[in-house]
Structure 1
Amino acid sequence: MSLYRNIVWFINGMREYTRSGFENASKSFAAKDLDLSMVGRSFMITGANSGIGKAAAMAIAKKGGTVHIICRNKERADRARDEIISASGNSEVYVHVLDLSESRKVWEFAEAFKREHTSLNVLINNAGCMVYQREMNSDGMEKNFATNTLGVYILTKCLMPLLEKSRDPRVITVSSGGMLVQQLNPGDLQTERAPFDSTMVYAQNKRQQVIMTEFWAKENPRIHFSVMHPGWADTPAVATAMPQFYQMMRDRLRTTEQGADTAVWLAVSHAATAFPSGLFFQDRKPVSAHLPLAWTHSSQHKVKVFMRRLENLAVAVKPLEMAVTS
């Protein structure tokens, strides 16, 4: 019975994730939720040179917000910045070059940002990757895990003091529906034991993002945390990472603006913070982070083991001079 219900849920979910699913959901959106000025508020968005990240940066810049875009490639980042400024008329858009897969450099960037800026109102963890084969970064970390999980952990943890002293601080993480088929596995974070399947590794990383969000929400009540599923959007990342899926679904994929809508809503609206911190959102409403009757729930013990191992890995790659002064 549970298998049948999950199959039905998945079929219905497929429709919900598409462009038509967004169009149907948007009929109940309140336009006033996004009819706000963001002048005087600062936002950091990772992976903002294209796709959902760029669409979110564009939407926020049009509302007058100061936007810090974090990208791996300076040339593409500069091009995105120029396009955002041109379309929004807002010159408060700043480029920062950072590869989130390089764990040590994430520490260095976040610490430097804290020294140079007095406030940060919103962090949107959007950058992600799906590396097909098991590759290691310069710190000896598996690249998918380093980017999607450890990079998000280090960046968020390091910026929390800056967020906490800012007005109405928020952290939004862009996850994926793939995590619905994964239970947290703290015993093999870098896929050293199991066969390497990039799709499942990515889905496990996205489950880890949900667990981190829930944990942070309990531990840091001054910051509003949320995690969201953008649906299936027509982005360069999807076209590159899942070419067969992209070709099959391209006519039904959401636009990047539709994919970014809930992240923007979570970042700017008053309605978003009326919900408790730590929830999983899709199309501006909280939804379950598990399939009906699913086996993907994690015990508190597993969560604590996962967070402790994340912290140990983060400390292991922390630059020596930072470890000495902290």
Structure 2
Amino acid sequence: MKNQVILDESIEVQRPLHEAFAYVAEFSRIEEWDPAVARGIKQTPGAPGVGSEYQIDMRAGFSLQYRIIEFEKNARMLMTVDSRLFTALEEIRFEATSTGTRIRYIAKFDFPTPLAALNRAYPAAMERVGKRAMAGLQEALEDNFEAPRASRLLATADRLIVPGIWRFTKLGYKASRKHWDAVSRFQGDRHAVVTGATSGVGEAAARQLASLGARLTVIARSKKKAEKLVADLKKQTGNSHIGFEIADLSMMSEVHALCDRLLAAGEPIDMLINNAGALFNPRQQTPEGFEKSFALLLLSPYILTERLHPLLCKGESARVVNVSSGGMYSQKIRVNNLQSRWGTYSGSVAYARAKRGLMILTEEWAQRWEKDGIVVNAMHPGWADTPGVETALPGFYRITKPFLRTPDEGADTAVWLAASTEAAKITGKFWLDREQHPSHLSQRTRETAAERRQLLETLQELRESTVPKKPRRRRKAGPAK
């Protein structure tokens, strides 16, 4: 016993018992609330429960191996802890109160003799560790964070290009995440729709939302890929509330059909992530006669989002997240050449112009739908190592590969915009790594009011003209006279 240290700390939070338990039980999220933790990694598939294992990397430079050995939903979890410095048994208990939830943390640490002597000499050190962790958990569950404000320093760095462009890399992600707040909002009663979800950033966003417990509908072009994705997500996360819809979003007839199905089902949409995209070289035309970049990247999300507005109105603090690109900084919308019919075609330019158009829609929807309680933002995933980048931009991929982010890192801001409480406080902005960035770096990319109006009118006309015509019923022939 002389080598054992016992910690016993309690907090009370104004959160329902099931919400507090759900947040803590997914123990990899300890990185959000324990200041001593650098990273939490879940090592076993499925929902948290007996047998779940986690690797917890500490800021001090060592790792802890956690294993859940007892698990009572909404009541308690007991975990063993192994490391090269100590072993421990940690229990977290949950109890409903008249105002929320009481959480009690009891830990018994067994140290080897030299470290035990050090702990006896400085008993307050371990006690401070426990108090800081529980204070961090209390702050996370109180969930009263302010949305990040626009930074003049960040905007200046962006406009100087080189100082800002490094933020697109994994180095920018790692620098930014040091200052992030916890995302503890309960997602188990919210419905997310994610397009382009079978690979890259879309797949990562879908997996993160599934891990948070959201009901999830993924939109995919391939039924085979969609079925595999849903099966994998259910196995990985233990979330059984995952389904899919099939639609080629470069085909407006299929976009309308998808909207018809979702509207008929009537399920409210709390989170819509418009992620589907690709870069095309050379110029391609869809069977419906649209240039493919324009169809997939601009017209499709316009029709989808406009038509799903009634379901977003039914959602709780509904969010629309448009996945954009830093490439939009280089281009102005060309309202008289939206489909790149004239001039030398460049897939990169067509892509960037479409993303510029999507940013315009972000600002328009944010303003128009604010009265409906719908928050609309756009985000840049940064330079992420995805199959799309490798295929469409092989030269760029080869040069930048050492600095590319993972798809999960690229998807983080989209999920944060969709799921966090504080992201509901700001609408119509452009984000990277949970930080506001300017939507333009130069006056030359700004559209006039007349150009913006023309863009919206053109898209609305195309929305109306692409509605599939219902076949007329043949009139039964009357009796011969």
Say if 2:229 is the partner of 1:91.
no
Deviation at 1:95, TM superposition (A): 1.4
The alignment's C-alpha RMSD in Å is 1.5
Q: 1:223-243: per-residue Cα shift (whole Å, max 9, x none)?
A: 110000110001111111111
Out of 433, 437, 448, the residue aligned to residue 283 of structure 1 is 433
Measured against aligned partners, the alpha-carbon deviations of 1:217-261 in whole angstroms (never above 9, x if no partner) come to 122122110000110001111111111111111111011111001
Q: More relative contact order in 1 or in 2 (CA 8 Å, sep 6+)?
A: 1
Deviation string 1:26-75 (CA, Å, 9 cap, x unpaired) is 11111x2x223210100000001111111111111111100100111111
Q: How does 1:167-186 map to 2 (within 5 A)?
A: 167-186=316-335
**Scaled by the length of structure 2, what TM-score is found?**
0.64
Structure 2 CA distance for partners of 1:59 and 1:248, relative to 1, 3 Å: same
* Contact persistence 1:139–1:317 (CA under 8 A): no
Distance 1:7 1:57 in 2: 29
Structure 2 contact 158–165 (Cα < 8 Å) conserved = no
Q: Secondary structure at the match of 2:166?
A: helix
SS at match of 2:187: coil
Q: Distance in 1 between matches of 2:218 and 2:362?
A: 21
Larger of the two Rg values belongs to structure: 2
Matched, 1:193 2:342: yes
Structure 2 residue matching 1:45: 3-state secondary structure? strand
> Retained in 2: the 8 A contact 1:46–1:126?
yes
Aligned to 2:263: 114
Q: Distance in 2 between matches of 1:148 and 1:185?
A: 15
SS of equivalent to 1:227: strand
Q: Describe how 1:1-326 pairs up with structure 2 within 5 A.
A: 9-30=160-181, 32=182, 34-221=183-370, 222=372, 223-275=374-426, 277-291=427-441, 293-321=442-470
Structure 2 residue identity aligned to 1:282:
L
Note the residue ranges of structure 2 that are not aligned, 5 or more in a row.
1-155, 472-481
**One-letter amino acid matched to 1:258:** E
- CA offsets per residue over residues 183-219 of structure 1, 9 Å max, x none? 1111101011122111100000110100011111122
Alignment: residue pair count: 314
- In structure 1, give the amino acid aligned to 2:434: R
Q: Percent identity?
A: 35
Unaligned 5+ segments in structure 1 are: none
* Distance (Å, rounded) in 2 between the aligned partners of 1:302 and 1:41: 37
Give the distance between the partners of 2:381 and 2:231, measured in 1 at CA: 25
Q: Partner letter of residue 81 of structure 1?
A: V
Structure with greater strand percent: 2
**Which consecutive segments of 4 or more residues in structure 1 shift more than 4 A?**
5-8
Residue 9 of structure 1 aligns with an amino acid whose one-letter code is L
Question: What TM-score, normalized by structure 1, do the two folds share?
Answer: 0.93
One-letter code aligned to 2:170:
R
Whether the 8 Å CA contact 2:210–2:237 is kept in 1: the answer is yes
Q: Describe the shift of the 1:189–1:164 C-alpha distance in structure 2 as closer, same or farther (beyond 3 A).
A: same
Shift of 1:8: 7.1
Q: Give the helix-richer structure, 1 or 2.
A: 1
